[in-house]
Structure 1
Amino acid sequence: MQLIKGTSTPEVWLAACEYLRPLPEHEDFDVFLHITDPSPLSKADAKVLGGVDDFLVGHGGVSVNTVAETIFPLQDYLRGGKDAVFETYPERMARIHAVRTDRQWGNYAMRILRQKDRDGTIYNPLKDLLKKIQGHGQYKATFELGLGNAMEVYEAFGDDIAIYDGAADRRPLYGHLPCLMHLSIKLDHGKVRLNATYRAHYYVQRLLGNLVGLARLQYFLAHEAGQEIGPLTINSTYAKLDTGAGGRWNLGDIDALLATSRQIYTIKEAA
């Protein structure tokens, strides 16, 4: 178990990868990542992010932005605002899933935008959550959101969105289970805080894109509700410094990426 704290998403990504590198099998359990200012990126942050993106794409992996978009559809939001997030994106994903054999693709965003309650009614957890944040402002209340069974406790405002679907996810052992299991959002003195729990977290291919996507989701909620952005906290219940699907890169490649990224921050501090 380890707590890793930092200011930005690329900074914490780098520190987390450096933590895993010398460990046996380059893995650990319950690695907590705490990012105090998740949305803005400094010039050094942007350079590190760009380097990671070039590394992933150059080695046949998935880009940082592609991973981020599976959590929150920023491009739709920039083009059409919240209505595009709530309606346009799910409609497009429904058409995509209709012709794909792998219907898990893009499922994180879809599971926070479309769920079914106990009587079979389709609802939008993210839209409902935004309404609650807008309605409470500076007040504090707690909302525990299950599948169609909301409970209220007046202490600290929060809302939970469960990503894991037992009916759909209980059978696959590898490759298709959602790694993002749970989202918890709190309103703390006008700041939107976000906490995410991951079942398994692959730190080279997925972590930075996951952090960017969650920060975008957090920005969306804060911006639409007229609130500020608070910290972003992740619990990787299992964390792995991975070599990509089928060994697309090796530990030497990872070492070079981490060294280059660290050098960027070292130069920034020396300037």
Structure 2
Amino acid sequence: MSDYVEPAENLSEAWLRTLELVHARGGRRVNVLTTITDPLAPEDLAVRAAIDAVLVPGSHKSGTLHSVQTVASTIFPQDLYQDPHVAWAPALPDEQKKRLDEAADDLYAAYGDMLSLLCTANGNKLGTYFGRMVSWPGKEAGGYNQLADRVHYLRSAHAAGRRTHNLSDIAVGGEADPADEPLSALQDAGVQVYAPTDRRQRGFPCLVHIDLTLLDGRLSMLAVYRHQYLVTKAYGNLVGLARLLAFLAQQTGFDVGELAVQATMADTQQSDFRGRKGIEALLDSARSQGG
């Protein structure tokens, strides 16, 4: 049965409410929708500290653990983006538009330089999320840059005065594989994170789809996960998605709307973290420390 998590203003509270709901209903639920109404609202750093205290980097029976920051960087590598602190607009002076373009280009280039090495790391042999977004299919530099394409299209919409969503133009989705399709067929392809030929039932990629929707000048995002690991991955995923949405909004000049995550399977990972008591201890720590 589907579950709708009460929308939260910030991502820390959204993560907590999701973990609490799924834990209370047995530890695994299907089709769980989590919504953050203000993805750029400040995090509750005490909540992040509580989850990072559990995610001590290294080997664990659930696999290799990574900090929230490391997980977030798989979706948007914030450290590689030199924020120009200006948002795109049709009338923006050319010098400032150039700064925005250079910041994005430098991000893509820096990540491209790292991509081959990143793919040699444990768990990355099939590519990385951000690699698939900026160099599809994501194993080496020089592939199809879906983010650059979306930025270009959204800027065109902004310049034309479009402020309300248009499914054929603004939605970012689809499953076409640029390796098998001519570029002309890919203009509405959207942000790809997997190919339709992918037959794996679990493992990378858990994030399978990202949609962007424009309504009343606000850019919103929906991310679909086929298996959302609520302890080891979910908080970092929310941080990374919020940063990706902020980047796209800044580069296209739209306001930031809401961020939603649909988990076809949401999992509290009880068996990996001392059963129900372990999850309850994490929740108690996050709630007691959080503001």
CA drift at 1:100: 4.5
Q: How does 1:93-242 map to 2 (within 5 A)?
A: 93-97=115-119, 99-100=120-121, 102-104=123-125, 107-115=128-136, 122-137=143-158, 138-139=161-162, 140=164, 141=166, 142-143=168-169, 146=174, 147=176, 148=183, 149-150=185-186, 160-167=190-197, 169-170=198-199, 172-174=200-202, 176-242=203-269
Measure, in 2, the Cα distance between the counterparts of 1:101 and 1:62: 12
Q: TM-score if structure 2 supplies the norm length?
A: 0.76
CA drift at 1:249: 4.7
Measure, in 1, the Cα distance between the counterparts of 2:121 and 2:70: 17
Code of the residue aligned with 2:257 in structure 1: it is G
Q: Number of paired residues? A: 247
In the alignment, what sits opposite 1:73?
77
CA drift at 1:46: 1.7
Code of the residue aligned with 1:92 in structure 2: it is M
Measure, in 2, the Cα distance between the counterparts of 1:101 and 1:48: 28
Aligned-partner SS, 1:70 = helix
In the alignment, what sits opposite 1:13?
15
Q: How does 1:50-69 map to 2 (within 5 A)?
A: 50-57=49-56, 61-69=65-73
User: Per-residue CA shift, 1:32-82, capped at 9, x if unaligned?
Assistant: 01110012215xx12111221122127852111111111111110137831
Question: Which ranges in structure 2 are unaligned for 5 or more consecutive residues?
Answer: 84-101, 177-182
Structure 1's 258 and 106: CA in aligned 2 closer, same or farther, altered over 3 A? farther
Question: Which ranges in structure 1 are unaligned for 5 or more consecutive residues?
Answer: 153-158
In the alignment, what sits opposite 1:156?
none
CA drift at 1:243: 4.2
CA drift at 1:166: 3.2
CA drift at 1:22: 2.3
Matched, 1:252 2:253: no
Structure 1's 222 and 33: CA in aligned 2 closer, same or farther, altered over 3 A? same
Structure 1's 261 and 11: CA in aligned 2 closer, same or farther, altered over 3 A? same
In the alignment, what sits opposite 2:110?
88
CA drift at 1:218: 0.2
Measure, in 2, the Cα distance between the counterparts of 1:58 and 1:107: 19
